[in-house]
Amino acid sequence: MDWHENHPIWILSGYRMGQVTARFPKIVTNRGPVNQDLADEWPRWQPACSIIYLISDIIETIGKPEILNQPFRSSYVALVLLMVWSPSAGVTGDLERYERIEIHMGTRITLRFHAGSEADADRAAAAAFARVKELDDRLSDYRLDSELSRLSRTSGQGQAVPVSEDLWRMLSRSRDLSQRTDGAFDVTAGPAIRLWRHARRTGKMPSESRLARAIKAVGFEFMRLDSEHKTVELTQPNMRLDLGGIAKGYAADEALAVLRQHGIAAALVDAGGDLAIGEPPPGKQGWRIGIAPLDPNTPPKQFLILARCGVATSGDAFQHVVIDGTRYSHIIDPRTGLGTTTPCSVTVIGSDATTADGLASAICVLGAERGIQLADQTAGAAAIVVYRDGDDVRIVESREASSLMRVE
């Protein structure tokens, strides 16, 4: 049996892997302890050092514009994080491991968990997927019949529309993040997002008049929330809400909660790369996440241990466009309606997947300095930002970037 059949691949983001040992020469070299005195400590430090290798590898890639401008060449290899379940750990006590996959919200939703029986696993997974489908019905901006789309169509009509608890939570949390970021995160950016998608497909900048019309309909201040009656009024005509920067994280959290309600605590939900991580697998300190080598069929050698948190990565290594000599990201700044122009990778660990998803989206727009400040001001959050500054590649980390890691 091939290795990958035993180790499901969890693709979190796309970056080229390399190797560096200079960051902590007194601790490790060639991915191992410098001397025997450190050998006993290596298992405790190994996961933290893996982050250092990951950051340095991303730096190497971002520093090569010829790679970034050719994202689909074979030399530009995906950085993958692997959910590693060793074959010898298939059953622990009375619990067996299970994996279930369905397509919802335009992406693959993967459930990985431990349960007492196949019947228990099927019931829990069915309920979790039903919950995600329910959220898709409410929160999708692609579906004309979704609750979100119906709300958007009331913009500028003076209507205070009652909304479901799910949509209320999303819009409330989004507004709070918009206020904290001065509009760098804004779910009212739908008109600008649609215009920029067209620009990316055609390779042509939108006209000034079309961009101005789109921006006129963007602004979280145009979204009035009545907390007493749970109603929402969109005050500006032609508004369009888009929850793409936060909804998948929320769906992952909700699916994890459903599994927990069915007695399944040791679980991980992957919603298109937004991860809700529950209790560790039986007998483990956390979910063991491997940083894959260049060959996806080769077992990983470096690992991180994570539990009870959310993880999200946002960046533009694969999704960008060059227009008139300028490289633009697929990630737009809601305040300008244009894609950001600084190549970056942002990884966030949050108290839950909703938090991590929203923060990762916002930090890509805010930039490294303000983005790290935002992470530091968010309880239970950590962030790592790698970005290109002219000819230099820089890295910044939040204060909690190391302390949130579970060490095996």
Contacts of 93 (CB under 8 A, 6+ apart): 282, 283
Spatial distance between the Cα atoms of 305 and 276, rounded to a whole number of angstroms:
14
Which residues does 391 contact at the CB level (< 8 Å), separation at least 6? none
pLDDT at residue 288 is higher than 90: no
pLDDT number for residue 44 = 44
pLDDT tens track for 131-156: 999 999 999 999 999 999 999 999 99
Phi, psi of 316 (to 5 degrees): -130, 25
329: DSSP letter: E
Check: CB of residue 281 under 8 Å from CB of residue 92: yes
Is residue 35 packed enough to be buried (19+ CB in 10 Å), middle (13-18) or exposed (0-12)?
exposed
3-state DSSP assignment of residue 235: coil
Total-model pTM = 0.75
Nearest Cα neighbor of 54 from 386, 400, 394 is 386
Question: Which residue(s) pair with 161 in the sheet?
Answer: 232
- What is the model's pLDDT at position 399? 86
Residue 297's pLDDT band (boundaries 50, 70, 90)? low
d(CA 291, CA 341): 28
8, 311, 135, 269 alpha-carbon torsion, rounded to 10°: 30
Q: Locate tokens 């290109």: which residue? A: 388
CA distance 58 to 26: 22
Q: Mean per-residue pLDDT for 325-335?
A: 86
Torsion of CA 258, 262, 268, 269, to 10 degrees: -30
Query: In this structure, are residues 353 and 312 in contact, taking their beta carbons and an 8 Å threshold?
Result: yes
- Rounded alpha-carbon distances, angstroms, from residue 257 to 5, 132, 263, 356: 28, 11, 10, 17
CB 79 within 8 Å of CB 291 = yes
Supply the mean pLDDT for the chain.
77
Q: How far is CA 291 from CA 46, 53, 78, 161, 234, in A?
A: 12, 9, 11, 46, 44
Range with the largest mean pLDDT of 167-176, 195-204, 396-405: 167-176
| SS3 state at 203 | coil
Instruction: Answer yes or no: are the C-beta atoms of 97 and 85 closer than 8 Å.
Output: yes
In this predicted structure, what is the pLDDT of residue 401? Answer: 76
Query: CA 355: distance to chain centroid?
Result: 10
Q: How many Å apart are CA 303 and CA 284, to the nearest integer?
A: 13
Q: What is the per-residue pLDDT for 110?
A: 97
Out of 167-171, 359-363, 390-394, pick the least confident.
390-394
